Amino acid sequence: MYTCRGLLALAFSTIAMVLSTAPVSAAPAAVRTVKADVSHTLGPHSDVPLKVVGAGRAAEGLRADWQGQLDTVQDEIGFKYLRMHGILNDEMAVYDEDKQGNPIYNFQYVDALYDALLEKKIRPFVELTFMPSKLADGTTTVFWWKGNTSLPKDYAKWAGLMRALMVHWKERYGEAEISKWYYEVWNEPDIRGFWPHPLEDYFKLYKTTSEAIRAECAKCRIGGPATAVPYASEQAFEKWIIENPAPIDFIALHAYGVEQGFLDEDGTAGTIIDPDPERVAGRMRHSRELMDAGPLRDKELHFTEWSSSYTPTDYMHDQYHQASFIMNVVKRATPHVDSLSYWTFTDIFEENGPRFTPFHGGFGMLNLQGIKKPSFHAFRFLKRLGDTDVESNDAASWVTKSKDGSVQALVWDYSPVVPPKGQTDQVFYKKEQPTTDKGNLALEITDMTNGTYRLDIYQIGYKQNDPYTAYVEMGSPNQLTRTQVSDLNAVSTGAPVFTGKVTIANGQFRREVPLRANDVYEFVLTPLE
């Protein structure tokens, strides 16, 4: 357990570690040198990494703790769009019928949710799921909260619901506003749990939905198929829509970083991280290449779900390794996509039912108590990057500069750790995972403006913004006291591990720090004159 004395000792030891350039042993430490010349720019910095983020389901968004966590995310990171399941679920009370079978619409819960999102300066990326039970031709459902996966019993009534939604949103928010949203038809129709029907039935649903939306909003952006399995289903959809024209503004797809599987409906799947650093980003790049080779080359490509694993029981989501995984994917994928929706911002997520422990391998950047995981800090690091990319010699780095003369450098080590034979992520990553030494990291930046700068160095890694390790050392309690929550928050503040003044002469900056496996560093140089 981290006591106050332990926290103080950790802070001082971390600062000493960052400032030290002397090796522990007599042999010189290997040095990885990242070099950048700020005069060699690559163009504007992309908004792709922070454009969209995911959440579980719409009804969860009506909870006070969920909205409080979204406030934290928006205050410290600031995404532009939020995507979630279940806006049409029965618990959102959108659709009913009278005794004669006439539709009755009710959008009050949706209004409460979307009003809250817009107040927090985040727009809906509308995923149109699931089927209201009164409109469904069957009773098949998915997850603890029973999203209905049936077909519409009447496609005209489904189209009527789509048009009624669009009319309502136009009246409430204005056509100019809702034209800035995205509208995604269904979720993973290539996975039987979400769509126990032939893919051709999805095509019919897509055409009906997209035409109904377009009839009420000429500029609204519509897309699909939000498929999970590369690459056959997305190619089948693209082939179909070319041969059967329907409104299409973007392709939506999903990608996860484990070796096999796509859906864990009851939380019992065993997953293993794929060590290939191209597992996720390579899938994204190839999907873009497939689009570019055909008539859809001018359409946007959005990955509306992605993470290391598709199950909310994979403890890598809680570990420090997740931060370097995020950096590896985001840097490699950004040139090829229009958005990357990390799944998800919060562990308030109930596909497998309410969770019984504060850390359980959940998708979120924040756990149930709002404790910031390493993944949260990874996106906070991305937020601090500047407005212009700068060329560097190292692929596992991202150097930027800002109009005010400040320079930012993200550098990371991505060393995926595969569980030993016979173990899954659910077993292996549940345990404390000490890191290994990888020598030193040197950052060299040239052609800077001479003068005095404030240097802030931030770090994510083992026992550095790493509340899960602290939780394990507490004994992994099933329930947390207020003091324990406070202690865990205290080891994951995101504060700099070093802050000080540096003088730049001859336009050159150099700083060396120790590097461990899966460390993520951010250096921020801010002019003081």
Cα dihedral across residues 190, 191, 197, 203: positive or negative = negative
- Whether 221 and 177 have beta carbons less than 8 Å apart is answered as no
- Whether 240 and 277 have beta carbons less than 8 Å apart is answered as no
User: Where do the H-state alpha helices sit in 385-443?
Assistant: 425-428
- Whether 233 and 189 have beta carbons less than 8 Å apart is answered as yes
Annotated active-site residue in 127, 184, 188, 216 = 188
What pairs with residue 300 in β-bridges?
Answer: 250
Of how many residues is the chain composed?
529
Among 432, 440, 434, 390, which Cα is nearest to 410's? 390
d(CA 155, CA 490): 54
Q: How does strand 437-446 pair with strand 31-44?
A: parallel
- Whether 327 and 396 have beta carbons less than 8 Å apart is answered as yes
Specify whether 188 is catalytic: yes
d(CA 73, CA 443): 29
Residue carrying the six token digits 């899938």: 283
d(CA 83, CA 86): 10
How far is it between the farthest Cα atoms of the chain?
86
d(CA 138, CA 151): 7
159 φ/ψ sector (left φ>0, alpha ψ -120 to 50, else beta): alpha
CA angle, corner 8, sides to 382 and 2, nearest 5?
85
- Give the rounded distance of the alpha carbon of 238 from its chain centre: 25
d(CA 332, CA 359): 29
Active-site residue list: 188
